[in-house]
């Protein structure tokens, strides 16, 4: 097969790395890719949101399967466009992708299909939202309904913090149109869990569960980010819990979408909180997570290309998805200042030394200038390592991280320690 991966982050590098290992993949294109994906296949300078350019590329290069990494093209209808042109593509349609592109839609869908989730209310008017907020008793979470690159969520300790978040979203418009609608949601307590699953419109096959760390600083402090690290599988997420979440959250989505005439094909990602009342869905994403993908795919024992193609062709089965025993830990190395403004263009040193430790290096915000790899984004690298358990994997990953230097490099030193990810209601 000739395969195209769309995107330029760490998730896309992990996808390209896994696909390049498949005996079914003859040629691999990544658009636009980064300095790391160039080692897996051919980078093509077409932006992920250039749907016309991507379709022309697929037709010109006779691509057999396209894999969409980021959420933007999905919400813009790339799957609908490619299907109309007869081009196989892995991902949900624009209608199905509303589960991620509109948190308001997702909440209504969960309510209609009895999927356990936090209580919430949706507002388009600041004054009405503020009045509702001050009538509540207890901490809340304020969320922009639309796509905000993983940053449109503010976990608030009191009404004053929540009002500030509302004002920033609805009055100051820090997230633009993503906050045309805003959710005020009850704040749940418990450890966070991410469960990704392959879907072919009818069948659901879960992957190994993962736990990510969204806050920028150690101890789950500071603002939310797109993710500062992850590990898989968490020791508290056994097979029985995965089966329960699949039955209570994932299968109802696929059945509900099919009944609505929008069969769900692609990866369905449930972000959950493990509360005293059982697992509750915080959000759905409609693609591989980042950085969860960098912790999950290194454990995949079966052929990723075969699983993706089976989803597209409507023949997914559990025997096509197998994972190795053990665990994987991933640490994100970020530019100074992330998730706010950050510099780019800093030379990155020590990549070969890190790889020599056995670490897997997934590039995210990188570029190549002449022979030098430099920083080119907020999250620069995701460093992953495998071990017999989470503690061993975490110890190994930090050996790799210690080898890498770039000016102002920031990373959390506690990925995989303790419960991790607790209270990450994102």
Cis peptide before 376 (omega within 30 of 0): no
pLDDT of residue 36 exceeding 50? yes
% of the chain at pLDDT higher than 70:
97
Asked which of 8-17, 113-122, 390-399 is least confident by mean pLDDT, the reply is 113-122
Residue 426 predicted with pLDDT over 50: yes
Is the per-residue pLDDT at 129 higher than 60? yes
Residue 158's pLDDT is 86
- Mean pLDDT within 138-159: 83
The pLDDT tens digits for 59-102 are 999 999 999 999 999 999 999 999 999 999 999 999 999 999 99
pLDDT-derived band of residue 317, with 50, 70 and 90 as boundaries? very high
Query: Any idea which of 100-114, 151-165, 403-417 has the lowest mean pLDDT?
Result: 151-165
Mean per-residue pLDDT of the chain: 94
pLDDT band per the 50, 70, 90 thresholds, residue 418: low
| Residue 419, pLDDT score | 47
Asked whether the predicted pLDDT for residue 140 surpasses 50, the reply is: yes
pLDDT at 136 over 90: no
- pTM flag (> 0.75): yes
Nearest to 187 by CA among 123, 139, 150: 139
pLDDT in tens, 201-251: 999 999 999 999 999 999 999 988 889 999 999 999 999 999 999 999 999
Average pLDDT over residues 336-344: 96
Q: Is the pLDDT of residue 147 over 90?
A: no
pLDDT at 311 over 50: yes
Mean pLDDT of 270-284: 95
Q: How far apart are CA 263 and CA 302, in angstroms?
A: 25
Beta bridge partners of 367: 374
- Average pLDDT in the 160-172 region? 90
pLDDT value for 77 = 97
pLDDT at 425: 56
Which residue do the tokens 């209808």 mark? 77
């Amino acid at each position: 097969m000739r395969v195209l991966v769309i995107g330029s982050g760490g998730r896309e590098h992990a996808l390209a790395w896994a696909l390049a290992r498949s005996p079914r993949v003859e040629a691999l294109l990544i658009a636009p890719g980064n300095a790391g994906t160039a080692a897996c296949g051919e980078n093509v300078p077409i932006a992920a949101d250039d749907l016309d350019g991507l379709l022309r590329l697929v037709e010109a290069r006779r691509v057999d399967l396209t894999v969409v990494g980021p959420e933007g093209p999905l919400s813009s209808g790339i799957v609908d466009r490619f299907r109309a042109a007869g081009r196989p593509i892995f991902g949900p349609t624009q209608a199905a992708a509303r589960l991620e592109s509109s948190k308001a839609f997702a909440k209504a869908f969960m309510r209609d299909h009895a999927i356990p989730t936090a209580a919430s209310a949706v507002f388009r008017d600041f004054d009405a939202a503020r009045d509702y907020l001050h009538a509540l008793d207890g901490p809340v979470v304020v969320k922009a309904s639309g796509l905000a690159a993983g940053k449109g969520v503010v976990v608030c300790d009191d009404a004053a913090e929540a009002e500030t978040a509302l004002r920033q979203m609805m009055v100051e418009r820090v997230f633009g149109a993503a906050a045309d609608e805003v959710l005020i949601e009850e704040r749940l307590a418990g450890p966070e869990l991410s469960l990704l699953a392959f879907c072919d419109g009818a069948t659901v096959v879960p992957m190994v569960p993962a736990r990510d760390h969204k806050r920028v600083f150690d101890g789950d402090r500071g603002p939310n980010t797109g993710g500062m690290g992850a590990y898989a599988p968490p020791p508290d997420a056994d097979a029985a819990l995965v089966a329960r979440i699949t039955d209570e959250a994932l299968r109802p989505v696929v059945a509900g979408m099919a009944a609505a005439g929008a069969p769900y094909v692609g990866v369905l990602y449930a972000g959950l909180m493990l509360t005293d009342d059982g697992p509750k869905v915080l959000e759905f994403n409609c693609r591989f997570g980042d950085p969860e993908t960098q912790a999950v795919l290194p454990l995949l024992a079966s052929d990723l290309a075969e699983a993706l193609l089976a989803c597209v062709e409507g023949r997914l089965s559990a025997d096509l998805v197998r994972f190795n025993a053990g665990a994987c830990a991933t640490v994100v190395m970020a530019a100074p200042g992330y998730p706010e403004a950050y510099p780019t263009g800093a030379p990155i040193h020590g990549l070969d030394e890190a790889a020599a430790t056995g670490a897997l290096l997934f590039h995210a915000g990188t570029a190549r200038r002449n022979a030098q790899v430099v920083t080119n984004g907020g999250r620069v690298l995701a460093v992953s390592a495998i071990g017999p358990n989470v503690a061993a994997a975490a110890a190994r990953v930090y050996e790799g991280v210690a080898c890498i230097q770039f000016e102002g490099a920031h990373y959390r030193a506690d990925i995989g320690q303790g419960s991790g990810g607790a209270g990450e209601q994102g």
